Structure 1
C-alpha cells in the first residue's frame, strides 16, 4: 500500500491486484436495490452539528423530521446567499454557518432572552 499526493493531500493507493474494492461493490449491488440506495442518500443529513449543539439538541430530543426541517432552512439560506444565519425553529434559535453547512449552537427560548446575536447576515424562520 502506498500514498499519492494530490493537491497537497496524501491519498491511500491500494496495492495492484487487491480485489477488495471490486468485492465490496458486488456485495453492495447484491444487497441493495438502486431505489433503496437512492432513498438512503436522500435521507442523509447534508450538514454537520457541532459538539456543543449536539449536546443541546439531545436534551431537547430532536428527531429525524426536525433534522430534515433544518436541512430546508440551510437550502433557503443558501439560495439567498447567506453565510451565517440565525434559524428560528419551534422554541429554538440555531446559530448556523451556511457556508460550512454547520449548526454551531442551539439555544432554547428561555436562554435566548435578553441576548444579542452578532455576525449573522440572515434569519430563517421555519
Structure 2
C-alpha cells in the first residue's frame, strides 16, 4: 500500500451516529427527559417503599445520581425503623457513602448527599445518626 494513502487513512477522523441537531434544542430535550425521569423515580419510590421523598430530595437524587434501588430503599426503611426505636425525630442515615436526612414522624427523606458532595458538608437540625 502506498505510504501516502496509508498515512491519510490513519489521520482521517471516523464519524459514527447521526448529528443531534442544533444546540438550542438539546437543553430543552434534556429538561424534558429529566422531568420524565423524576416522575418515574417518584412512582417507583411510592410503589417500593414505606418512605416518601420530598421534592428537594428527589431533585438531589436525580442531580447527584444516587442509587435508589429496592435494596437501598429496604436498608433506608430499616434505618428509619431503628431511628424510631431510639426516639430520633430528624436522623442522618448513612447507607455506605450516601447520607439521607429523614423526618421520622412524616416518614419522609428531606435531603440526600452522595459521596462526591459529602466532603465538607455540615448537617444541621439532626438529632442522631444511624449507620446501615
Task: Looking at secondary structure, tell me which structure has more strand per residue.
Answer: 1
Unaligned runs of 5+ in 1: 1-42
RMSD: 1.6
> C-alpha distance in 1, partners of 2:66/2:116?
13
| Deviations 1:44-70 (CA, angstroms, capped at 9, x unpaired) | 522211122223334223211111110
Task: Tell me if 1:62 matches 2:105.
Answer: no
**Partner of 1:115 in structure 2?**
121
Unaligned runs of 5+ in 2: 1-46
52-61 vs 76-85, which moves further: 52-61
How many angstroms does 1:112 deviate by? 1.7
Map residues 1-126 of structure 1 onto 2, 5 A cutoff: 44-58=48-62, 59-126=65-132
**Partner of 1:6 in structure 2?**
none
> TM-score with structure 1 length normalisation?
0.61
Larger Rg: 2
> TM-score with structure 2 length normalisation?
0.58
> C-alpha distance in 2, partners of 1:57/1:74?
18
